[in-house]
Amino acid sequence: MSPPDESSPDGGRDTGPDGSGPVAWVRWFRHTDNGTVVFVREMLESVVVVVAIGLVLFAISGVWPPMVAVESGSMEPQMERGDLIFIVDENRFVPNAAQDGTGVVSYQQGKQSGYKSFNHYGDVIIYRPDGSVYETPIIHRARFWVESGENWYDEANPAYVAGADNCDELPNCPAPHAGFITKGDNNGAYDQVVRISEPVKPSWVRGTAEVKIPWLGHVRLFFSSTGVPSSVQYQPSQPMSNGTQYAPPA
């Protein structure tokens, strides 16, 4: 079947290649001035460029999708709504200060070694709360590591335990298993205190945040608002009854 018969810019009519065979058709498709074909050709070129960029980013990050959109303010001012974040598999480029076997540096370890990410000590991680594939992944900072059965109340910052006076008053204390205690930089309590997630197991971590591109995430958020998934988003901050800001699961 011949392509649409349309006039070329010089007033002629370009109905197809002069010769026959696939080579002639490919050559014609690449060089014709037929308006419809030019439009299709430009669309295909744009798709190829986008796919190529995606493959390069995936090759670097080891994570798909390699870019995620920030949905709200639990990590402000380090990350703001509409920022696009490039993430990398946590085992891709492991810092020397990382917790053994995880590839993640906690705030506590970062403070000891001088390792920083997004203006504070430790890594910002993307994790699935309680390991659930049905919950929206969360972007928060790894604060410190706990072992299974550990009473971590004395290790915690008193400002982030929502007024608890001892381990018995804290959810997830003693720790039900080994993992990271996490918190949004703009939140007033640990995720494990406000029951967003149990201590984050290494297998629940999707990657670490590496680079922020301001504003570009608004495109993904638009698709999210229209019902199209916008990839990983961190959760909106909501006040607890005592005024503490926390990030509830989606």
- Model confidence over 134-192: pLDDT tens digits? 888 899 999 999 999 999 999 999 999 999 999 999 999 999 999 999 999 999 999 99
- Rounded distance between C-alpha atoms, residue 205 and residue 247, angstroms: 17
Pick from 236, 217, 232: which is nearest to 124 by CA?
A: 232
- Rounded distance between C-alpha atoms, residue 189 and residue 173, angstroms: 14
Percent of the chain topping pLDDT 70: 70
Domains of the chain: 6-60 (no CATH), 62-246 (2.10.109.10)
C-beta neighbour count of 183 within 10 angstroms: 28
Lowest mean pLDDT, pick from 66-75, 108-117, 131-140, 163-172: 66-75
Q: Which residues of 156-181 are buried (b: 16+ CB within 10 A; e: fewer)?
A: beeebbbebeebeebebbebeebbbb
Angle at 153 between CA 152 and CA 154, to 5 degrees: 95
**Cβ proximity of 128 and 134 under 8 Å:** no
- Rounded distance between C-alpha atoms, residue 75 and residue 70, angstroms: 9
What is the DSSP annotation of 193-236? Answer: TTTS-SSB-GGGEEEEEEEEESSTHHHHHHHHHTTS--S--PPP
Lowest mean pLDDT, pick from 114-128, 183-197, 214-228: 214-228
Q: Region 91-97: what's the mean pLDDT?
A: 87
Percent of the chain topping pLDDT 90: 48
Task: Decide: residue 153, CB within 10 A, 0-12 exposed, 13-18 middle, 19+ buried.
Answer: middle
